[in-house]
């Protein structure tokens, strides 16, 4: 399949060629012809599949005809995070360079004067995060009645972050006759039902089975005591051939603490989380992308949208609480067919999250051990088990040894290569990494247990970093009977 076979015009084809793409990715090949025909699309695709170009290329084509009116955007793209919104805007700039489309970006945390001016002049494409758009609607700065194409991107993330009520409210301001493109990395039944409420007779396209990790990412997990995590991370950084890496923590305060600790050890790191000003976030990302910074300590806000060419490693300093976040985190590496490595540090207390991830992936993640770091103490294991975690894995069977040693050979090869920038600051030291253990078969009892990918309720309000936001009073969920007018007596 060639781009020229998809129905795109010569200007878009030229921009695609200049971007260096040789052929459409599967999601592009499946979605673009249907979008060009005006169909609604329900897409199951994660970032890294080329999904953004999958909707921006045909949108540029469709929007090329027609003109925008003041404050009435012709198309609307809703993104869960500022980074993603910014990335989509860059896609429009790259692929729309031979068109004269106008665009505005309404995202939280940045000055809006320039974007408001653009809106006033009329835009073809409006890219938003939900909160900022609602704010602008309420202030009468934008009207959505002229929107012909709506894109709801990364819908599962939006749901996790508690944005769906806002998205539904935004959609209620749109004309019912429109084209809607709905993308989500996962499509569980509840998401499907929600999608159906936005879409009309959609063409369904899917490029990866539900929540699968890219085959190009080599994964490993290391069980250790909580107090050994920092040392274990440093040892992995020494032992692995790390070119550039993202280290994920679950909480932003931990992002900050770990970042400071790594800086103290002379590592070239920066932090990225939702409490930083947008300008600082963008500047940090830019430095990471251009190689000035080789390691980013980040919260999940960076797991989506972040597209760094050739990222060699992802480290999960904490096991993500939501299983899907694991796939998104490790999906930052191993992109566009390149190989990548993902290491997860897990304490016995986090074993329950690992179980949920493995059940979602449908296979266990190979375990490794570092020679210099002891496995968790039995008391820690027992305490975690008492709190509902799973017991320590049984030791490997002897017959599996030969197989695992074979699997370990390329890893040794990598360690022998020259030191890379990330570890250059750490004292030279060879830390033997034990080969990945062969997958431990799950017990019959574990298989019977229902998949538990969401240990926390979905409806909980969270901020960008996944930290819980306190819900005051009844929060967003005021029961309908309280809203009904009281009938007057007499």
Instruction: State the residues that interact with ligand AMP by CB under 6 A.
Output: 21, 24-25, 28, 47-53, 307, 336
Give the shortest CB-311-to-ligand AMP separation in angstroms. 11
Give the shortest CB-40-to-ligand AMP separation in angstroms. 20
Give the shortest CB-28-to-ligand AMP separation in angstroms. 6
Residue 210 near residue 359, CB atoms below 8 Å: no
Residue with Cβ nearer ligand AMP (32 or 220): 32
- 3-state class of 444 per DSSP? helix
Residue with Cβ nearer ligand AMP (95 or 198): 95
**CA 55 to the chain's CA centroid:** 18
Give the shortest CB-304-to-ligand AMP separation in angstroms. 9
Residue with Cβ nearer ligand AMP (81 or 250): 81
The torsion angles phi and psi of 126, rounded to 5 degrees, stand at: -120, 120
Residue with Cβ nearer ligand AMP (70 or 336): 336
Residue with Cβ nearer ligand AMP (94 or 404): 94
Give the shortest CB-308-to-ligand AMP separation in angstroms. 9
Residue 183 near residue 49, CB atoms below 8 Å: no
Whole-angstrom distance, CA of residue 207 vs CA of residue 31: 10
Residue with Cβ nearer ligand AMP (304 or 341): 304
Whole-angstrom distance, CA of residue 263 vs CA of residue 434: 27
Give 179's strand partners. 149
Give the shortest CB-29-to-ligand AMP separation in angstroms. 9
Residue with Cβ nearer ligand AMP (50 or 162): 50
Burial class (CB in 10 A: 0-12, 13-18, 19+), 41: buried
Whole-angstrom distance, CA of residue 51 vs CA of residue 331: 14
Whole-angstrom distance, CA of residue 238 vs CA of residue 241: 8
Residue with Cβ nearer ligand AMP (208 or 232): 208
Tokens of 32: 């673009």
Give the shortest CB-197-to-ligand AMP separation in angstroms. 25
Give the shortest CB-440-to-ligand AMP separation in angstroms. 33
- At a CB cut-off of 8 Å and minimum separation 6, what does 280 contact? none
**225-252: string of b/e by CB count within 10 Å (b at 16+)?**
beebbbebbbbbbbbbbbebbbbbbbeb
Whole-angstrom distance, CA of residue 255 vs CA of residue 400: 38
């Amino acid at each position: 399949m060639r781009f020229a076979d998809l129905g795109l015009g010569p200007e878009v084809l030229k921009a695609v060629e200049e971007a260096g793409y040789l052929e459409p990715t599967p999601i592009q090949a499946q979605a673009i012809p249907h979008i060009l025909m005006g169909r609604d699309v329900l897409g199951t695709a994660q970032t890294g599949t080329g999904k953004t170009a999958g909707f921006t290329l045909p949108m540029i084509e469709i929007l090329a005809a027609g003109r925008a009116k003041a404050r009435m955007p012709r198309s609307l793209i809703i993104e869960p995070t500022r980074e993603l919104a910014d990335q989509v805007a860059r896609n429009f700039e790259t692929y729309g360079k031979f068109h004269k489309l106008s665009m505005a970006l309404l995202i939280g945390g940045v000055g809006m004067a320039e974007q408001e001016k653009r809106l006033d002049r009329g835009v073809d494409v409006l890219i938003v995060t939900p909160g900022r758009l609602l704010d602008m609607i309420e202030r009468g700065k934008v009207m959505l009645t002229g929107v012909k194409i709506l894109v709801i991107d990364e819908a599962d993330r939006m749901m996790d972050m508690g944005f769906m009520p806002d998205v539904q409210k935004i959609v209620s301001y749109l004309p019912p006759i429109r084209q809607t493109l709905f993308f989500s990395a996962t499509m569980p039944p509840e998401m499907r039902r929600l999608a159906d409420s936005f879409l009309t007779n959609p063409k369904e396209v899917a490029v990866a089975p539900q929540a699968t990790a890219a085959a190009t990412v080599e994964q490993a997990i290391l069980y250790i005591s909580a107090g050994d995590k920092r040392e274990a991370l440093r040892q992995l950084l020494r032992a692995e051939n790390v070119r550039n890496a993202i280290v994920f923590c679950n909480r932003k305060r931990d992002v900050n603490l770990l970042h400071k600790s790594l800086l103290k050890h002379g590592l070239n790191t920066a932090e990225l989380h939702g409490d930083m000003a947008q300008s600082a976030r963008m500047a940090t990302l830019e430095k990471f992308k251009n190689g000035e910074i080789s390691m980013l300590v980040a919260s999940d806000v960076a797991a989506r949208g972040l597209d760094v060419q050739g990222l060699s490693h992802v480290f999960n300093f904490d096991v993500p609480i939501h299983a899907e976040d694991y796939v998104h985190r490790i999906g930052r590496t191993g992109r566009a067919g390149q190989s990548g490595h993902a290491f997860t540090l897990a304490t016995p207390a986090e074993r329950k999250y690992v179980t949920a991830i493995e059940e979602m992936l449908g296979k266990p993640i190979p375990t490794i051990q570092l020679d210099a770091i002891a496995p968790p103490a039995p008391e820690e294991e027992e305490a975690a088990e008492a709190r509902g975690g799973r017991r320590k894995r049984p030791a490997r069977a002897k017959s599996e040894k030969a197989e695992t040693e074979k699997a370990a050979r390329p890893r040794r090869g990598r360690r022998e290569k020259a030191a890379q920038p990330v570890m250059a600051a750490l004292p030279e030291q060879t830390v033997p990494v034990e080969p990945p253990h062969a997958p431990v078969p799950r017990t019959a009892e574990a298989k019977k247990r229902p998949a538990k990918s969401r240990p926390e309720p979905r409806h909980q309000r969270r901020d960008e970093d996944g930290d819980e936001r306190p819900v005051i009073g009844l929060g967003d969920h005021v029961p309908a009977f309280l809203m009904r007018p009281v009938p007057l007596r007499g």
